Amino acid sequence: MGSNVVNFKTGENSEQENNAVTGTALHYRNISKQFGSNPVLQNLDLDIAAGEFVAIVGRSGCGKSTLLRLTAALEQASSGEITHHVANSGSSGDTRFMFQDARLLPWKTVLENIGLGLRGQWRDTAKQVLQHVGLLDKADVWPATLSGGQRQRVALARALVHHPDLLLLDEPLGALDALTRIEMQQLIEDLWRENGFTAILVTHDVPEAIALADRILLIEDGKIGLDLPVQLPRPRQRGTAAFAQLEATVLQRVLKTPSQENIPEIPTPKNITQLKWAW
Amino acid sequence: MSSITSIQPFRKIVAPWLVPIAILAIWQLAAQTGWLSSRVMPAPSAVLLAAWKMTLSGEIFYHIKISFLRAASGFVVGGGAGLLLGLLNGISRKAETLLDTTLQMIRNIPPLATIPLVILWFGIDEAAKLFLVSFGVFFPLYINTFHGIRSVDPGLLEMARSYGLKGWPLYRDVILPGAMPSILVGVRFGLGFMWVLLIVAEHVSSSSGIGYMTMNAREFLQTDIVVLGILLYAALGKLADFAARLLERWWLRWNPAYQPQ
């Protein structure tokens, strides 16, 4: 049960930043991570600006979740360094992680789950955040009675109640149905715009990445293979030509990536937007 | 005609009791006609009468109290030790390496096999009974607590740590509640062993308690009191199990499997 969660190196305020900028800026230098003899990330360099929304895509097993877990210090890099710089000197500098499964404590009510790790008079704050995700009426029920989408909303509320400067999302919507997923994406975007944290989203879903992110990163061969800014105006309409074109570009780029297995055949150009390259 | 619907549940309530009532009736009849000797089996009415007489004299409460205290103290001592060692070994790998093998070896000794030694060590006093009951209760609680702690969902632990929980809050909010279903299974097993060992211990020798009451009655061929003693053990066992179920209902009320239908 060895835990290697360490305190984050929060930024010194030597470089006085713009007051309007909030969130955590991240600098990855020469990050390598191997599991046994299997290298996952190799000398990866990356900079993420404070307040930025970054989506990371890539094939299954490419190391995108690993990068996220290294960022949260849930795991330690084999070599290299990740520096966190909190833009607003007055804020907590907290990092919060949303897992693929909601990981609510089943023996605590929804409200108590949100209050996890809070001290003092937390109930009112927790209720406010719960109202924000639209589940105030579920405050006193057990998580077992919630649907998958509701559980992820509670998990989101639990992360946001701490006013994090960095929110890490590890495919949190992967198990949800299509409609709930779009609702949740809107909710995440709204909350990000209101709160101004840095967000890193790992996803399999290219439309999701395009709908939410300022920047899409593709990880291949343990490195950043593609760093594509998304300049569509927010809120983003899924049906537009620009959206579809960007989606096709990203998908094609991802599919071109040589993989250990055979590259799946693309049946028709029409279907390409619905195609997933990894499960 | 509308009474058909009300008859249905009535039948369901009465039907399961028909066989026990019939057995009691036949038994009573057989005893009264002398076909069943009261030396073998007293009539149900005789058992009831014995219970009534001992209730009036207060004797029955005295024996129940003594037996209950013996069971409870053995459960607290043995169960408490099992719980603590289970927690310790569940949490600390070092403690597990050091202690678990020893405990697993001792576990293979049937508690009842130690009776001759126990009598040599503690005589036939309360200490001997306390030791036997504690010994029997210790292992179900130890094993289930240990297993419960080791099977807490690692995902929840990781989540809780990433939310800054450590030390006592981590145990209180995550590890203990996660291990609780397993610990309560241990409690119910422990309660079962507790009564078995108490009965044996009280029959080895005692000057009070339900076991003494029945042993004494046997000397005087008072089968009604012997049967009463057996029924008292059964009732106490049922009561303990019922209490454990209530604990499950309350502590595991978050778990859909333990919610009342």
DSSP string, chain A: ---------PPPSSSPPPTT--SEEEEEEEEEEEETTEEEEEEEEEEE-TT-EEEEE-STTSSHHHHHHHHTTSS--SEEEEEEEESSTTS---EEEE-SS----TTS-HHHHHTTT--SS-HHHHHHHHHHTT-GGGTTS-GGGS-HHHHHHHHHHHHHTT--SEEEEESTTTTS-HHHHHHHHHHHHHHHHHH--EEEEE-S-HHHHHHH-SEEEEEETTEEEEEEE--PPSSPPTTSHHHHHHHHHHHHHHHHS--SSPPPP---GGGGGG--S--
Going by their DSSP bridges, the two strands A215-220 and A223-229 should be labelled as: antiparallel
B6: its two tokens: 């009300």
Res B6: pLDDT: 58
**In Å, how far is A193's CA from the nearest CA of chain B?**
23
Residues of chain A positioned with their CB less than 8 A from the CB of B165: 116-117
A144: its two tokens: 């077992």
Q: Is B256 close to A144, i.e. CB distance below 8 A?
A: yes
Q: Is B163 close to A117, i.e. CB distance below 8 A?
A: yes
The pLDDT-based confidence of A2 (bands split at 50, 70, 90) is very low
| Predicted confidence (pLDDT) per residue in A131-162, tens digit | 988 899 999 999 999 998 899 999 999 998 98
Residues of chain A positioned with their CB less than 8 A from the CB of B253: 142
User: Among all chains, which residue has been given the structure tokens 């390409």?
Assistant: A272
Give the total residue count for chain B. 261
Residues of chain A positioned with their CB less than 8 A from the CB of B155: 99, 101, 103
Does residue A98 contact residue A172 with C-beta atoms inside 8 Å?
yes
Residues of chain A positioned with their CB less than 8 A from the CB of B180: 107
Per-residue pLDDT tens digits of chain B, which is 261 residues long: 445 555 667 778 888 889 999 999 999 999 989 888 888 889 999 999 999 999 999 999 999 999 999 999 999 999 999 999 999 999 889 999 999 999 999 999 998 999 999 999 998 889 999 999 999 999 999 999 999 999 999 999 999 998 888 889 999 999 999 999 999 999 999 998 999 999 999 988 888 999 999 999 999 989 999 999 999 999 999 999 999 999 999 999 898 887 765
Q: Is A117 close to B165, i.e. CB distance below 8 A?
A: yes
Q: Is B254 close to A108, i.e. CB distance below 8 A?
A: yes
Q: Is B160 close to A106, i.e. CB distance below 8 A?
A: no
Q: How many CB atoms lie within 10 A of CB B193?
A: 22
Best CA proximity match to B186, nearest among B111, B71, B87, B254? B87
| Predicted confidence (pLDDT) per residue in A91-146, tens digit | 778 899 999 899 999 999 999 999 998 888 889 989 988 998 889 999 999 999 99
Residue among B159, B164, B255 minimizing CB distance to A106: B255
Q: How many CB atoms lie within 10 A of CB A20?
A: 9
Q: Per-residue pLDDT for A267 more than 70? A: no
Nearest CA in chain A to B250: A107
Residues of chain A positioned with their CB less than 8 A from the CB of B255: 106-107, 144
Torsion, Cα A82 A83 A87 A90, to 10 degrees, reads 110
Res B260: pLDDT: 64
Residue among B157, B162, B165 minimizing CB distance to A72: B162
Among A5-14, A47-56, A58-67, B244-253, the least confident range: A5-14
Res A18: pLDDT: 41
Q: Is A117 close to B157, i.e. CB distance below 8 A?
A: no
Q: Any bridge partners for residue A215, and if so which?
A: A54, A229
Q: How many CB atoms lie within 10 A of CB B99?
A: 15
| Predicted confidence (pLDDT) per residue in B112-159, tens digit | 999 999 999 998 889 999 999 999 999 999 999 999 999 999 999 999
**In Å, how far is A251's CA from the nearest CA of chain B?**
32
Res B255: pLDDT: 87
Res B206: pLDDT: 83
Q: What is the full DSSP assignment across B147-164? A: HHHHTS-HHHHHHHHHTT
Give the single-character DSSP code of B125.
S
pTM for this entry? 0.78
What is the pLDDT averaged over residues A70-89?
88
Nearest CA in chain A to B155: A103
**Best to test chain B binding among A71, A94, A105, A156 (most B CBs inside 10 Å):** A105
Of chain A, the percentage scoring pLDDT greater than 90 comes to 42
**Best to test chain A binding among B93, B159, B184 (most A CBs inside 10 Å):** B159
